Structure 1
Amino acid sequence: MLWSVRLNLTSMVFLMIISLSSLVGSLGMLVIDVCYYIEWEIVTINSCALEMTLILDWMSLLFLSFVTFISSMVLFYSGGYMAGDENMTRFIYLVLGFVASMAFLIISPNMVSILLGWDGLGLVSYALVIYYQNEKSMNAGMLTALSNRVGDVAILLSVALMFELGGWGFIFYVDGGGVSFISGLVGLVILAGMTKSAQIPFSAWLPAAMAAPTPVSALVHSSTLVTAGVYLLIRFSPALGGVEQSVLLLLAGLTMFMAGLGANFETDLKKIIALSTLSQLGVMMSILAMGYSKLAFFHLLAHALFKALLFMCAGSIIHSVGGTQDIRSMGSLVYSMPLSVTMINLANLALCGTPFLAGFYSKDLILEVAFSSNLNGFCFLLLVLATGLTVCYTFRLVFFSISGDFNLMTLSGVSDEDKVMTLPMICLGIGAIMGGAGLSWLIFPSPWMICLPLGVKTLALVVSFAGGFMGYILNLTTVNYSLTSLSKYGIVSFAGSMWFMPFLSTRGVSTSFLKLGHMYQQAGDGGWLECYGAQGAYFSFMKSSSYLQASQDNSIKVYMVMFFLWLVILGVVLL
């Protein structure tokens, strides 16, 4: 156990040093406006060079700084949350492998090297989701792996497609409008980004991944796995346009609306926060589809700070109340866990876009830019409704877990005494307060002037107040004992199950494709293709070579047979 603690602290210090170094490097590059592109040529095939490349610019280093900072806080936090775990060392190594894969993806401008980090994220995330080794974790891990495998195949196809360009350094081709198949490449990258960032129809795996330990959720759902797709599309943003942008905007709008609606019917604390992450990923994808890649990156970083804090506070509460995750079994925690409740309220207010917290600077700017852009009515309505639903489920969470009736057992040792868990929460709380302002000054040094009518300008504020009021009052009047939901069971079941997407992704689609693959393997790869493919050709060549060998053995029998065969053929020809 002492070795685990030492490894825990050593890893945290190592990641913190990398974070500070990356932050200083990013600030320097922002000031002098410079970018370093490092390239090692490994092999050249048909004038197509396979290279190991790294890109060090302000965006990659700033993102790397945030990833390593949050990872260091998560590792320190794990020392308290996972203190009684027998496999603590294995857990830390898995988290470090996860961070290394994400770092490799961030600084790689080459599709081949990105594939290594991309597949590394998928592999380690599967190992982390099934960490507790029970049936629920196994099912969630399989759903996560199969959903992300679609994106892996899209990356593989894009690697094959880019072979025609003479290299895999996509950063040189995203501006090339004259290339005929660049739209196909962008389509594959959008598909990969949608699977990794859990956009419709690949949304079911993200709440299912909550089977992983809570420190992993704090890392995965803030700055690593789910943001990898958004980051890749930010890098490809100059090539986005036309049909791809429209489809991405529509799917992202539906995703954030579906996630916000589903969170209002969910009772699992971690799944509510996971659906909140899904909703914010939809916001990032929406503004990215409108052409504002820097704004999407700004919201990605600001969201990482308060979402990691939100998961840590949820983990602290779950850890203290005996492992239960049902918000209906909590209540009045403000008296026994004042620090955790303060931090979770801070994170919730930042998520809602409360003025002068981290979420306000990015979210308010996104809404105003979207309202002032050429946005169609349906996407505008989805954006407004998703904003109101975010505040609605946030205040519902506040009511059930913090300010409602005390629903825990009589003898409950609920407290904030574990400093190993509370210190990282305080650090991220400072980031949730000051991070948004600092990032806005760095990324947008020149202020944007956005002129909107008074009604549109105050629309986000009005919708937020209305959502918060409904989230608190409706749950106050229909607290635990009401059976109202049973009278509208169909609607509640549809909205609360993410529009039946988990069912469609498992029994509906995955099972059908797996059965189809099994049939193809039996009839095709193990059947006709085996007979007429490699094995059939092998046996044909072997039999032919045996005949040829027999003809060269100088046997009188062979010569007699050949002589009579020629006589028969000659007779047939003459007749």
Structure 2
Amino acid sequence: MLYKNSICFISFFFLFFFMLINFFFMMFFIMENMVLFLEWEIISFNSMNIVMSILLDWMSLVFMMFVFLISSSVIYYSKSYMLNELNLSRFIILVLLFVFSMILLIISPNMISIFLGWDGLGLVSYCLIIYYQNIKSYNAGMLTALSNRIGDVMILMLISWMMNYGSWNYIFYMEFMKNDYSMKFIGVLVILAAMTKSAQIPFSSWLPAAMAAPTPVSALVHSSTLVTAGIYLLIRFNNLLIDMLALKLLLLLSGLTMFMAGICANYEYDLKKIIALSTLSQLGLMMSILSMGFGDLAFFHLLTHAMFKALLFMCAGMIIHMMNDIQDIRLMGGLSINIPLTSLCLNFSNLSLCGIPFLSGFYSKDVILEMVSMSSLNIMMYYLYYISTGLTVFYTMRLFMYLMISDFNLLSVYNLYDEDYIMIKSMLLLLFMSLISGSFLSWMIFSYPYMIFLSLNMKLMVVYISLLGGMLGLLVSLMNVYSMNKFLMSYNLSFFLTFMWFMPNLSTYVLNYNFLIYGQNLVKFLDMGWGEIYKSQGLFNILKYYSIIYSLYQLNNFKIYLFSFILWMMILLLMLIL
């Protein structure tokens, strides 16, 4: 137990210490408007040198600071959450490897080292998703690994294509080679890679499946690390991608992802899956605003979202932990009476997700929606943005009603407590950051003001949509949800909306099913059929037959020995005569 506590505390201490160092460096870099490019020659052999490049600017430093802060909170939280885990040190090492891979990706201006971080994230996420060893975890891990492998292949193709330029340091020639045909191809590969990592349509099915991982891992993966890697890469490549047709297509797909995730979250009853689908919706929002050319706004929302989403997962983990690992929200209720501190953190993070004024989510979402209102987009994208915002408030209000207001529906004998101070302390740290990070970042990041001119109705559109979504969520929660579904829509439509627009079937089962059937036939007809007769079983039968014959010679039967001796002598005699 002492060893477990020490490894958690040491990891937490170092990550928090690095976070503080990053904070002071970030302040200095922003004030001095400074960029640091470091090259470290690892090995030089004849004419070949292997060089590690590091890019430190305000963006990489502030992102690293947030990753260190969230990962330190998650490890401190895991000290209590994973208390009965026998292999806690293995879990902590995997989390630290995950953080290291993300840091490598953040500070790299070189496509090779970016790929090392990118692939490291994919491999370690697979190990963390299958941490609880059961068939559901294995399936989810394989789905995640194979989906992310598509992005890895895109990055490999991008690396090979970049050999045309003689350097993998993309920041050197991105500006003046913008109109080159090869760079257009590189841009398309970057977009495809980012779509797989950030789970945009048609690669969305892996993100809710990744909920099979332990909750501390979900808090880390779905806030600041794995799913944001694609967004971060696109922000770095943003100057290259502007005015590309592929980016316009990405705008449509990310808008549909945002809309689809919002609808599915309203039909879901698994607490962790609701929060995962809300992450998917916010990733769609970041991708879509990035596709419109506002990379700084996407980065701003990425950071504010990381804080309240990590807090939301931690609160969900504490609730699941206390309710004997039950995740169904229909069995919860009345939590605000029994666990007030956890409920406080949960409600603040939920309100921040909705964009309630002066919480962190408000500062980023409000500016994003107002920039959308000012831009010359078509009406479809405008509707997708605002309906998705309304759906966010809808499922948040539904979650609030099920968890806080309705009656407790579990066993009559239960023990809900709010005294796990280790978890509470880590959650309160993120609660404080969820309150102040929006205003703090808006002062730090934007050195120039955005001038927004809108009519009064356009300005209040966010308020109208939020109020409408909240009222609908309240109404649906108060009514009997089953009868409401039967009344409003047919079974097929609700099935379509619940299962992510058949995304798992289309993107996974359709591709895998035929190969699996082919593999089954190979096993059946070759390994267990002809191969069995002519290889293993055939060889076994021949050896068995010969061994039976040899055993007859070994039964000390004098006649057989004598007969074999005479036979042998006759054969020798015949050979001599001939």
TM-score between both structures, scaled by the size of structure 1: 0.88
Q: Does 1:341 align with 2:336?
A: no
1:286 to 285, 288, 299: 288
Following the alignment from structure 1 to structure 2, what is the Cα–Cα distance between the partners of residues 92 and 42? 29
Whether contact under 8 Å (2:476, 2:484) holds in the other structure is no
Q: Secondary structure at the match of 1:252?
A: helix
Change (3 A) 1:168 1:515: farther
The one-character-per-residue Cα deviations of 1:372-418 (angstroms, maximum 9, x if unpaired) are 01211111111111010000000000111111122121111111110
Residue 510 of structure 1 and its aligned partner are, at CA, apart by 3.2
Residue 242 of structure 1 and its aligned partner are, at CA, apart by 2.3
* Alignment partner, residue 573 of structure 1: none
Q: Secondary structure at the match of 1:132?
A: coil
* Alignment partner, residue 16 of structure 1: 16
1:483-494 mapped onto 2 (5 Å cutoff):
484=486, 488-494=490-496
Residue 491 of structure 1 and its aligned partner are, at CA, apart by 1.3
* Alignment partner, residue 511 of structure 1: 513
What amino acid sits opposite 1:180 in the alignment?
Answer: Y
Change (3 A) 1:293 1:512: farther
* Alignment partner, residue 152 of structure 1: 152
Residue 25 of structure 1 and its aligned partner are, at CA, apart by 0.7
* Alignment partner, residue 536 of structure 2: none
Change (3 A) 1:486 1:381: closer
* Alignment partner, residue 132 of structure 1: 132
Following the alignment from structure 1 to structure 2, what is the Cα–Cα distance between the partners of residues 283 and 46? 49
Following the alignment from structure 1 to structure 2, what is the Cα–Cα distance between the partners of residues 19 and 517? 49
Q: Secondary structure at the match of 2:452?
A: coil
The one-character-per-residue Cα deviations of 1:222-267 (angstroms, maximum 9, x if unpaired) are 0000000000000000001220220110111000000001000000
1:326 to 323, 328, 341: 328
Following the alignment from structure 2 to structure 1, what is the Cα–Cα distance between the partners of residues 23 and 471? 40
Q: Secondary structure at the match of 1:181?
A: helix
Whether contact under 8 Å (2:4, 2:88) holds in the other structure is yes
* Alignment partner, residue 432 of structure 2: 430
Identity %: 54
The one-character-per-residue Cα deviations of 1:415-458 (angstroms, maximum 9, x if unpaired) are 11100111111110011111100000001143322001112111
Residue 481 of structure 1 and its aligned partner are, at CA, apart by 7.5
Q: Does 1:115 align with 2:109?
A: no
* Alignment partner, residue 529 of structure 1: none
1:170-569 mapped onto 2 (5 Å cutoff):
170-175=170-175, 176-240=177-241, 241-479=243-481, 484=486, 488-512=490-514
Change (3 A) 1:165 1:193: same
The one-character-per-residue Cα deviations of 1:27-53 (angstroms, maximum 9, x if unpaired) are 110000111111134679999975311
What amino acid sits opposite 1:303 in the alignment?
Answer: H
Q: Secondary structure at the match of 1:51?
A: strand
1:66-145 mapped onto 2 (5 Å cutoff):
66-145=66-145
Whether contact under 8 Å (2:485, 2:494) holds in the other structure is no
Following the alignment from structure 1 to structure 2, what is the Cα–Cα distance between the partners of residues 35 and 424? 33
Whether contact under 8 Å (2:137, 2:213) holds in the other structure is yes
Residue 144 of structure 1 and its aligned partner are, at CA, apart by 0.2
What amino acid sits opposite 2:88 in the alignment?
Answer: M
Q: Secondary structure at the match of 2:269?
A: coil
The one-character-per-residue Cα deviations of 1:181-227 (angstroms, maximum 9, x if unpaired) are 10100100111100000000000000000000000000000000000
Q: Secondary structure at the match of 2:149?
A: helix
Following the alignment from structure 2 to structure 1, what is the Cα–Cα distance between the partners of residues 385 and 67? 28
Q: Secondary structure at the match of 1:127?
A: helix
277-286 or 41-50, larger mean C-alpha shift:
41-50
What amino acid sits opposite 1:415 in the alignment?
Answer: Y
Residue 513 of structure 1 and its aligned partner are, at CA, apart by 6.1
Whether contact under 8 Å (2:338, 2:417) holds in the other structure is yes
What amino acid sits opposite 1:421 in the alignment?
Answer: M
Q: Secondary structure at the match of 1:38?
A: strand
Whether contact under 8 Å (1:270, 1:314) holds in the other structure is yes
Residue 162 of structure 1 and its aligned partner are, at CA, apart by 0.3
Residue 487 of structure 1 and its aligned partner are, at CA, apart by 6.1
Q: Secondary structure at the match of 2:500?
A: coil
208-217 or 507-516, larger mean C-alpha shift:
507-516
Whether contact under 8 Å (2:20, 2:65) holds in the other structure is yes
Following the alignment from structure 2 to structure 1, what is the Cα–Cα distance between the partners of residues 426 and 76? 7
Change (3 A) 1:360 1:274: same
Residue 518 of structure 1 and its aligned partner are, at CA, apart by 11
Whether contact under 8 Å (2:336, 2:343) holds in the other structure is yes
Change (3 A) 1:487 1:300: closer
Q: Secondary structure at the match of 1:313?
A: helix
* Alignment partner, residue 538 of structure 1: none
Whether contact under 8 Å (1:310, 1:347) holds in the other structure is yes
The one-character-per-residue Cα deviations of 1:462-510 (angstroms, maximum 9, x if unpaired) are 0011001101111201257877379621111111110011122321123
Whether contact under 8 Å (2:155, 2:193) holds in the other structure is yes
Change (3 A) 1:456 1:483: closer
Residue 125 of structure 1 and its aligned partner are, at CA, apart by 0.1
Residue 178 of structure 1 and its aligned partner are, at CA, apart by 3.8
What amino acid sits opposite 1:260 in the alignment?
Answer: G
Change (3 A) 1:66 1:483: closer
Change (3 A) 1:44 1:9: closer
What amino acid sits opposite 1:84 in the alignment?
Answer: N
Q: How many residue pairs align between the two structures?
A: 520
What amino acid sits opposite 2:480 in the alignment?
Answer: T
The one-character-per-residue Cα deviations of 1:255-300 (angstroms, maximum 9, x if unpaired) are 0000001000000000000000000000000110000101100000
What amino acid sits opposite 1:320 in the alignment?
Answer: M
The one-character-per-residue Cα deviations of 1:72-120 (angstroms, maximum 9, x if unpaired) are 0000000111111111111001000000000110000100011110110
Following the alignment from structure 1 to structure 2, what is the Cα–Cα distance between the partners of residues 139 and 112? 30
Q: Secondary structure at the match of 2:409?
A: coil
90-99 or 406-415, larger mean C-alpha shift:
406-415
Following the alignment from structure 2 to structure 1, what is the Cα–Cα distance between the partners of residues 483 and 332? 15
